[in-house]
Structure formats: C-alpha cells, structure tokens
Chains A and B, each alone.
Chain A
C-alpha cells in the first residue's frame, strides 16, 4: 500500500486522537480505556505483531485478540493507521449503519480476529488458537489484551489454569492495569493484588512494566516466551485516560464523552505529543 513508516510514538498519538474524535462523534463511552492501552496497541502493531495488512488472513500471522472489547476504537485506529483499511472509515465508528461497533467486531473489519464486548471471552479463544498452533507445530504467537476489571470474570481464571497446565508458551496475556474499573478503583471493587503472584501461581511467567514505555513494551513483548514452557503475562501498569490531563486517572472518563471545549482541549493536548 506504500504507506508511510511512522514511529510507535506517532502511532500511539494518532490512536489517541482518533479515539477522542471517534468517541466524541458517536457519543460513545470508554475513551479512558482506549487512551490507557494506546501505547500497548501501538507497540504491538508497530513493532511486535507479525501481520500483513494487505493479507489480513495470512496463515502465518500472529493472532491478536482484544478481550477488553470496549476499547475497540483503539484497535480500529491502529488497524486503519497501519493499512488494514482506510483511515476515513474510522469516521463511521458508532454511527447508524456502521460495522465499526462500539465493542470490537470482526465482521467486515480486516485484521480483527475476534469480536468481543462481553468480558472474559478472549483468553479462552486465545488458548484454543495457541493450542492449535502447538498441535500443528506452527511458530506464530497469540496475544490477548485484557483489562484489569475484566480479571473479575471467572472464565479468565479457567483459561489461566488451562494455559499454565498445557505450557502454552506461544500465548501472551497483556493486562492493561490502569487500576480503575467502571465504577471505582480496582482495589476498592475487587482487589487483584497480589496480582503478579496469582499468575505465577497458575504457572505463568510474569513481567511487570510501565505500559506507556515503548522500549519496555517492545522488550517484554518481543522475547517470547520469557520462560520456556510457560505462557507469558505482561502486566502493563498504565494510567487510565493517559495523554489528556483532565482524563487521567479518573473514574469519570470511563463513560464520559468529550464534547465542545473538552474535545478541543483534549485534541490540543494530543497535538503537542509526543
């Protein structure tokens, strides 16, 4: 497609801008969740995932599943900016008649492996994909991005047990750990700590990193597996709403939509980055 090569910092900035604009235009929620994972998704699509935008179903591709489907705008933006479909299509997000639904959908969207939206589904499907790759001796990897609040879902822990038991070292779970879920802080809702230790106890290799540090993200996500015969969990410490000062680290911007002055202020802040 002859598209320009951009840095992951620039890709993350564009994902954030798109997210603010898309959620504002459609009046949809979850902008804070997208800003939280923008750096993770940018590093994945910019540096980590072996994918072919002009051949989205290439059998050798790495599989990426966004299990926190409510942050779908971030993945749509990353796919558009990396050439899977025209950037103009993003304008239809959340609009009448669009296939770019608020929660990520695969139908008609090149590059999306799995439609999600109900939490606690992605990791199980990822386990199935990783198990199939093992059976077939294929080298591709499976990445699943989860939210912290999503780890309340018991189905995730079924999958975490399974992946550890079957030594799925081609499976990577990334947790966007911004410490805020929809109504309150994670620690006050259903505490996850000691979080890393839980994954370790289930047989996973765990890396804890700053989820906004691109070098750290790339390092953690490139050398897979971290430990032989173990699935990898990357706990990415993030800030919900990252990149827009008044959205950062607040419960409010899980659901709130930026309009008018707030929209302009948000876009102005994001213009100045990186």
Chain B
C-alpha cells in the first residue's frame, strides 16, 4: 500500500507543482533513495522543491503543512503509526481542519502493520479519533487500486484529509473501467445471507472468509468501506434491509470506528440488520507482539474468525 501510494503521488507531483510531501524523518527506501550511489531516485530526489524532511517533529510538521497549504499548496504529511495523527492531534484539529487547509495526513502502518514493534506502533484508535474531527475526510483503502485512486481523489478534495495505509493489502478487487468515488462503498461481491463490511487491508480476510462461507452454503455480500468519513450510510442501510445481517471487520478498536459507524447508520435509519456483529480489537492495548497476521489471529480478526462469527450469527455454528 505504501509503495502504491508513493508511486501515485510521484505521478501527481510531476503534474502538479502545488503538491508537497513533508515527512517526519521517516521513509527510508520509500521516499528517499536507499542506494549509496543514487541509482534509485525516489520522491525526495525527484521532487526536491516539493519535498521537505522536517525532522522528528510532528507538531511542527503539521503546523508547517498548514502554513504551506494556506499559501496555495496541497501538502501531504507522512509518518508512521500514530505519529502524524495522535502525536499532533491538536495541530490537525486547530490548525489544519479548522482553517480548511489542504493538508493530507498520511499514516503508514495502520492497525497491527508494525505489530512486533509494540503498542507505540499499533495504530488502533486512529479511525475513531480522526473521524470525530469536524471537516476531516477519513480514508482507509483496502487494495492497491483503492490506495492509488484514493491518493488521486485526496488531491482533488479540498480541506484536511486522513489517509490510513497498512502493510497488508487485499488482492485486486476492481473491475475494468470502475470509477473510484470517495464516500461511496464498493460492492466487491454480492450475496443475500450476510454482508461483510471491511475497511483497510483486512478486506483481504473478508474476501477469504466469503469464499470459505460460500462452500458452507452462506452467500455473503462484501463491501469495501474505504471511506470512513463521509460515510456511505446508504450502502449500509441497503445491506441491513437486503441481507440477513451485517458483520463489520476492521483492524482497529471496536470503539468508534467502522463498526460504530455502521451501527449508527442503521439505527439512524431505523434499519435494524437481522443480525449484527463487530469484528475488531476488543482487548485494548496489546502488550503481546507479533506479525500483523499473527495478531489478527490472536484477536480473532482473521478469515477463520470471520467464518466462525458468520456461522454463529446465522445459527449455523457446529
């Protein structure tokens, strides 16, 4: 996802000199050429006038981004895990968002991408926190295509945005000629027994689960909810009315993120799903570390866990 983002951003930056990327001293080999002889120029070398490493100073980075944006630039701030969001949350809120500044906050390492690094690097509350900020668009793509289309869309979207990228990536899900639209959930496959709604790379687990469930006689609708705000309540309400129930899947706390947004959308529209379950992090902090896949398994967010939950929900557990 990270590389897909940088590739697309380089295309966009080549075409639009207003685009700038600020990093809080992260992006070795991604933004910056890792070779000693300069043979693999990346964003930093290719766009020196549109690049700035502000040092390990996220509050300053976000304030600077706001100032640059006020002077007509479209500024991406780049860091990992919680550093570009929680560390400088007030700068995102007061400086960028309140002023409608064209600041696009990009976090690499959503969820348990950096699972082995410990809780400082577990980005598991960012979606709920960022979605509560007024005038902030929140995007959490699931595959490479969504990542790249979202990156382009953010450049076209005025104001402050948050792009959450994680290490995992779902297999390609887009159809030829498909148009990406922020705030519009994507129907990846259809079914009437149950709807799986996922956000982020964990969409891949939902797709594996849906395939498995088919063999067990359960046909799932799968929605990729790549935009958390503005939220596609319409797609959720349709799922509640047209399918047997809803399971939400996010690599994120169950408090305030995708699952909460889906529940709100259903209740607001008085469209109660036949069954409902939120798959996400219930444990709070994870002092246990491990790979993204390992932690998904530990916290019952992987495909087998989704299958079990679906069968339980439909009363077909064996």
Contact residues of A with B, CB < 8 Å? Answer: 106, 113-118, 120-121, 123-133, 135-136, 154-155, 158-159, 161-162
User: Which single member of A118, A124, A132, A135 contacts B60 (CB below 8 Å)?
Assistant: A124
The answer to whether A106 touches B99, judged by C-beta atoms less than 8 angstroms apart, is: yes
Nearest residue in A to B63 (C-beta to C-beta)?
A124
Residues in A neighbouring B49, C-beta threshold 8 A: 135
Residues in A neighbouring B70, C-beta threshold 8 A: 113-114, 125, 128-129
Given contacts A127-B67, A161-B57, contact A118 B99 (CB under 8 A): no
Given contacts A115-B94, A158-B59, A162-B54, contact A125 B71 (CB under 8 A): no
B66 CB-CB contact with A under 8 Å: yes
Among B50-68, those with CB < 8 Å from A are: 52, 54-55, 57, 59-60, 62-68
The answer to whether A128 touches B94, judged by C-beta atoms less than 8 angstroms apart, is: no
Among B19-77, those with CB < 8 Å from A are: 49, 52, 54-55, 57, 59-60, 62-73
Measured in the bound complex, the distance between the Cα atoms of B71 and A128 in whole Å is 8
The answer to whether B72 touches A124, judged by C-beta atoms less than 8 angstroms apart, is: no
Nearest residue in B to A115 (C-beta to C-beta)?
B98
Q: How far is the CB of B199 from chain A (nearest CB, A)?
A: 31
The answer to whether B63 touches A155, judged by C-beta atoms less than 8 angstroms apart, is: yes
The answer to whether A124 touches B55, judged by C-beta atoms less than 8 angstroms apart, is: no
Task: List 30 A-B residue pairs with CB atoms under 8 Å apart, sorted by A's residue number.
Answer: A114-B70, A115-B94, A115-B99, A121-B91, A121-B94, A121-B95, A124-B62, A124-B66, A124-B91, A125-B63, A125-B66, A127-B60, A128-B63, A128-B64, A128-B65, A128-B66, A128-B67, A128-B71, A129-B70, A129-B71, A131-B67, A132-B67, A132-B73, A136-B71, A154-B59, A155-B59, A155-B60, A158-B55, A159-B64, A162-B55
The answer to whether A158 touches B99, judged by C-beta atoms less than 8 angstroms apart, is: no
Q: How far is the CB of A175 from chain B (nearest CB, A)?
A: 18
Nearest residue in A to B72 (C-beta to C-beta)?
A132
Measured in the bound complex, the distance between the Cα atoms of B71 and A114 in whole Å is 12
Q: How far is the CB of A108 from chain B (nearest CB, A)?
A: 13
Contact residues of B with A, CB < 8 Å? Answer: 49, 52, 54-55, 57, 59-60, 62-73, 90-91, 94-95, 98-99
User: Which single member of A106, A118, A128, A162 contacts B57 (CB below 8 Å)?
Assistant: A162
The answer to whether A124 touches B94, judged by C-beta atoms less than 8 angstroms apart, is: no
Measured in the bound complex, the distance between the Cα atoms of B57 and A120 in whole Å is 13
Q: How far is the CB of B101 from chain A (nearest CB, A)?
A: 9
Residues in B neighbouring A159, C-beta threshold 8 A: 60, 63-64
Residues in A neighbouring B59, C-beta threshold 8 A: 120, 124, 154-155, 158
Nearest residue in A to B59 (C-beta to C-beta)?
A155
User: Which single member of A106, A127, A133 contacts B63 (CB below 8 Å)?
Assistant: A127
Measured in the bound complex, the distance between the Cα atoms of B281 and A235 in whole Å is 51
Q: How far is the CB of A26 from chain B (nearest CB, A)?
A: 22
The answer to whether A162 touches B94, judged by C-beta atoms less than 8 angstroms apart, is: no
Measured in the bound complex, the distance between the Cα atoms of B60 and A265 in whole Å is 43
Q: How far is the CB of B56 from chain A (nearest CB, A)?
A: 9
Measured in the bound complex, the distance between the Cα atoms of B181 and A67 in whole Å is 38
Nearest residue in A to B70 (C-beta to C-beta)?
A129
Q: How far is the CB of A117 from chain B (nearest CB, A)?
A: 7
Measured in the bound complex, the distance between the Cα atoms of B63 and A161 in whole Å is 14
User: Which single member of B54, B55, B63, B68 contacts A121 (CB below 8 Å)?
Assistant: B63
Measured in the bound complex, the distance between the Cα atoms of B54 and A118 in whole Å is 22
Nearest residue in A to B56 (C-beta to C-beta)?
A158
The answer to whether A131 touches B60, judged by C-beta atoms less than 8 angstroms apart, is: no
The answer to whether B99 touches A114, judged by C-beta atoms less than 8 angstroms apart, is: yes
- Beyond A129-B71, A158-B59, 15 extra complex contacts between A and B, CB < 8 Å: A113-B70, A114-B70, A118-B94, A121-B63, A125-B63, A125-B64, A125-B66, A126-B67, A128-B64, A128-B66, A132-B72, A154-B59, A155-B63, A161-B57, A162-B54
Measured in the bound complex, the distance between the Cα atoms of B67 and A121 in whole Å is 11
Residues in A neighbouring B64, C-beta threshold 8 A: 124-125, 127-128, 131, 159, 162
